[in-house]
Structure 1
Amino acid sequence: MALQWLILTYVVAAEAAVAFLLTLPAPKLLKSQLVSLVSLILQPAICIVPFAAFQLLDIYWKNEHRLMCTMEICTAEERDRYEKSIYKAQRNVVLCAAACLLYWCVYRICKYYKDIKNLEEVEKRYKDQ
């Protein structure tokens, strides 16, 4: 189970790095090459969204079937384990949401750059006429 969260963590870190690189000021040629490369990677990377959604369903299912340790019968160790599992679940929900949100941000940034490039080409054609 930890491998899934490790993969999701690396994907979120990679998406954050790509979003950061796309928003940095750069020469036009370098920026267009970077946007085209990221656009090619975005199509196969869409699989992260259903993966994150499946992980969210897993967290929900585990939360619904988790043994509650709120009574006085529980030992301190059991209570600590329960609280730790709650914190881990909350962290993992944030991780899943961040994966989906960062994918969407990178997609929109690439789309905006492509739209700007197309508008510049149209403007150039009108100026040439």
Structure 2
Amino acid sequence: MALQWLILEYVVAAEAAIAVLLTLPWPKTIRSRIVALISKLLQPFASLIPFAVFNLLDLYWKNEHRLKCSSEVCTEEERVHYERSVYKAQRNVILCVSVCFLYWCMHHICKYHKQIKQLEDVEKKAKDL
């Protein structure tokens, strides 16, 4: 179980690094090459969205069927275990949502860069006429 969360942690770190690379002010030639490379990487990264959503649904199901430890019958050890599991679940929800959000950000940043390039090409053609 911990392997899937480790994978999502690395994916979030990689997506954040890529998003930073996309937003840095590069010269036009370098920026266009970075955007082209990232655009090609977005298609394989899209397979992570269903993985994150599946894990999110799994967390929801586990939260709905988790044994509550709020009565006086629970020992201190059981209460600590319950609180830790809740904190881990919250962290994992943030990971799943971060994967989806960062993918969306990268997709739109690449899309906007492509649109800007197309508009610059149209402007260049209009100036040449």
TM range (shorter): over 0.9
Match of 2:36 in 1: 36
List gaps (5 residues or longer) in structure 2.
Answer: none
- 2:61 paired with 1:61: yes
Distance in 2 (CA, whole Å) between partners of 1:127 and 1:44 is: 39
Distance in 1 (CA, whole Å) between partners of 2:38 and 2:55 is: 25
Distance in 2 (CA, whole Å) between partners of 1:25 and 1:124 is: 22
TM-score of the superposed pair, with normalisation by structure 1: 0.99
User: What are the within-5 Å matches in structure 2 for residues 102-117 of structure 1?
Assistant: 102-117=102-117
Match of 2:18 in 1: 18
Distance in 1 (CA, whole Å) between partners of 2:83 and 2:58 is: 18
Residue 106 of structure 1, CA deviation: 0.4
Match of 1:27 in 2: 27
User: What are the within-5 Å matches in structure 2 for residues 27-106 of structure 1?
Assistant: 27-106=27-106
Deviations 1:31-73 (A, max 9, x none): 0000000000001110111111000110011111111111111
Measured on the aligned residues, the alpha-carbon RMSD in Å equals 0.5
Aligned length: 129
Identity across the alignment (%): 65
- Counterpart AA for 2:7: I
TM-score of the superposed pair, with normalisation by structure 2: 0.99
